Amino acid sequence: MTAFRTARAVRTTPEGLLWEPSARWVRGRRGEVTVVDSRRPVLVWEPDVPVPLYAFPREDVREDLLRPAKNPATGTHTGSRIFYDLQLDGELLENAAWTFPAPDLAGHIAFEWFGRAGRGLDHWYEEEEEIFIHPRDPHKRVDALASSRHVRVEIDGTLVADTVRPVLLFETGLPTRFYIPREDVRLELFVPTTNHTGCPYKGRADYWSWRGDAPVPPNVVWSYPDPLPAVGPIRNLLAFYNEAVDITVDGETLERPVTPFTETLERHTRR
């Protein structure tokens, strides 16, 4: 009988890696081919990288598809010196996998995720649910709660949203996001874009940009048309980057927060 792990013992390696076992059944595919299938993955956090990745016991990996890397990507992962190319259906994916030097992780192989790195395995599943970009961090949580707060959003003095029925999304390490019913947003002031992103906690998002002349970054508004079940209440609602617009909640104007998105938003703001 398989024993499900219950302890959350995060361990540290001399190289500065953090890691802990996971009880989730994880599979990674390239197209229709399953390259890794494991009920014994470990989560690994690299120094200064805010999100984790998975590493897997070698026996759970299709090592017959791996070749020693022709051009090892040394310096891209903490202390790693052994990289592998993935050979599959005549396609060679360079540096798709690697091993960490830490003795604690000996016998484990990690993989790039296409959605995050632009190369590597392109479909990942935890149990039967597909996940995107990177593994979910078990030490973070995301809650979507219906609210009756009065939320107003302005761009350069123009009121673009006004609601008393938002859904507030609380995500560890990020500011509260205010998801607003479409009927309460002046969506005619925005234009849909071709930008789409994925989130392991929420799903895939669509975006809109501001039509006006104000210095606003593109893709300032987003929506999840088919969110993951855990955040179902945000379905088809619209959210704005707090970092780039003025949001007032119950009469109090919020300060624009500084987040991991701030630098990118400022760099793409039209001047």
Q: Which structural domain range is residue 254 located in? A: 142-268
> Does 174 reside within a domain?
yes
> Does 136 reside within a domain?
no
- Token digits for 236? 């088809």
My answer on whether 157 and 62 are in the same domain is no
Domain end position, chosen among 111, 131, 151: 131
d(CA 205, CA 63): 34
> Does 137 reside within a domain?
no
Please report, for the domain that includes residue 179, its CATH number: 2.170.150.40
Count structural domains, the chain: 2
For tokens 């109090």, the residue is 252
Instruction: Find all residues with CB under 8 Å of 213, minimum gap 6, and list them.
Output: none
Specify the amino acid at residue 180: I
For β-strands 203-210 and 123-126, DSSP reports them as: unpaired
Instruction: Find all residues with CB under 8 Å of 9, minimum gap 6, and list them.
Output: 20
Given this model, what pLDDT does residue 2 score? 45
Written as tens digits, the pLDDT of the chain (271 aa) is 344 444 457 888 888 899 999 999 999 999 999 999 999 999 999 998 889 999 999 999 999 999 999 999 988 898 888 999 999 988 899 999 999 988 989 999 999 998 887 889 999 999 998 888 999 999 999 999 999 999 999 999 999 999 999 999 999 989 999 999 999 999 999 999 999 998 999 999 999 999 988 889 999 999 999 999 999 999 999 999 999 999 999 999 999 998 888 888 888 775 5
Q: Are 245 and 220 in contact (CB under 8 A)?
A: yes
* 14 secondary structure, DSSP code: T
> Does 250 reside within a domain?
yes
My answer on whether 71 and 171 are in the same domain is no
My answer on whether 146 and 250 are in the same domain is yes
My answer on whether 146 and 262 are in the same domain is yes
